[in-house]
Structures are given as structure tokens and as C-alpha cells.
Amino acid sequence: MPEQAGMMTATLAEKRLLSEASQTWELVFTCEAPLSYQPGQFYSFVTEREGKQEVRAYSLTAAPAGERMVLCLNRAGWFSNLLCDLPIGGTAQMHGPYGAFVLRDGPGIVVADGVGIAPVASMADALLRGQGYVGPLTLLHTATADGELFYRERFEQAERAVEGFRYLPLAASAVEAELERLIAEAGEPKPTAYIVGLNAFAAPLRQWFKDRGWDRKQIVFERYD
């Protein structure tokens, strides 16, 4: 593969299956240099397939800590399988950080589904380390099954340790009713809405907030597909 500016090598140090049913893996890499990113951001992973460059984004699930990089990903197709199949000591190429799915000043409501919880896990890790808390945050966390509420213990710990952080694991069918309650409770100014997940989950929720008067600038949105 031709050399690309800013490209870094990451070496797989640990891997762990988080859910057999959804084939979700946590991969821990050691990078060749310390990483500098904001919790919630992603890196672009790059490889070549039949002479063509392939690039996929993966959110980091931990607060910055030197050369350590933690991903949480589903086996969804070619590239993600390649990463999940890497042996310990195997390498991947990536560059970054990128992305605007980061915490802003003031109150917020976060809605995340399935593996879309990855960038929020990074934010919670930072809050637990006492880094950059900006205001009361309520996290609505949904998944297909309870076993797929990844990083649940971290969020429960954050709820106990970080004032103003609320954690609500719930069924996807209960999200809208819970949001109605939360926005009535919050009043004005409107809390920032943070939405992340696959498009089928995230796009209707973005519309839900817009229908209730949220400006697009008050919605921090990241879709995975």
C-alpha cells in the first residue's frame, strides 16, 4: 500500500468477544505513538482489497491513554471481519482522529443503540477520570438484547460517581415515551441531543427532535451506515 501522510500502525494487544449473538468484539491495540483525540471521535482504518483502497471508521471506546486504542465492533462485513480475525500481534493501519460527536457545554440527552454506544463509552471513561464534564447528561441506551448493552457497568459506575450523569438502559420501543418525559422535565434552553447508531435507529430519532423544535445545530448526530 502506498505511504499516506499521518498513517499509523496499530498492533493488536487483546481481543474479547462481548456478545456471541451479535458477534461484537472489543479490540485493544497498541499504536506506534500516543493518540490525541476527544472522547467520541473515531479513526479511519485503511487497507487494500483487490488493488483498491478500503476505508472504514471506528469509534474509540476509551478516553485517551497514551498508545492504547480500544474499539468495539460488530462483524458486519469484509473489513470488520478482517479486524475481528486479526491474531494478537497482528497489525492494522489507521489515521485520525476525526468526527464531531463530542460533548458540548451544557445539558444533554444521549441516545445510543447497540454498538453505537462505542463513542459514549469513551465519554463515560473520560468522565470517570474527571476529565471535562460539561453539564448534566442523561444516557438512553438501547439494544436488541440485555447482553448487548455494552459497557453497562461503566455507565452504572458513572451514574454513581459523576454528579448529574443519569443512565437509563431501556427497550427501543420505550425510547420515545422516555424522551417526551425528559424534554418536558428539561424545558428551555433545550438540551443538546446526541444520537448515534445505525441509520435505521438514528435517522427517525433525529427527525423526532426536529419535529419538536430542535435546530440541526442542537443535534449531534453520527450514523454508522
Ligand X SMILES: Cc1cc2nc3c(=O)[nH]c(=O)nc-3n(C[C@H](O)[C@H](O)[C@H](O)COP(=O)(O)OP(=O)(O)OC[C@H]3O[C@@H](n4cnc5c(N)ncnc54)[C@H](O)[C@@H]3O)c2cc1C
Decide: is 78 part of the binding site for ligand X (CB under 6 A): yes
- Closer CB to ligand X, residue 77 or residue 132? 77
Q: Which residues pair with 108 in a beta bridge?
A: 137, 192
Q: Pattern 152-191, binding to ligand X, x per CB under 6 A?
A: ----------------------------------------
Residues 49-68 contacting ligand X, CB under 6 A:
56-59
Q: Where are the alpha helices (DSSP H) in 94-134?
A: 118-128
Q: Pattern 204-223, binding to ligand X, x per CB under 6 A?
A: ------------------x-
Decide: is 224 part of the binding site for ligand X (CB under 6 A): yes
Q: Which long-range contacts (CB under 8 A, 24 or more apart) does 127-134 make?
A: 127/158, 127/162, 127/165, 128/154, 128/157, 128/158, 128/161, 128/162, 129/63, 131/39, 131/63, 132/39, 132/103, 133/162, 133/164, 134/103, 134/104, 134/105, 134/106, 134/108
Residue from 7, 13, 18, 76 touching ligand X (CB under 6 A): that is: 76
Q: Where along the sequence are the contacts to ligand X (CB under 6 A)?
A: 42, 56-59, 72-74, 76-80, 99, 115, 118, 198, 222, 224-225
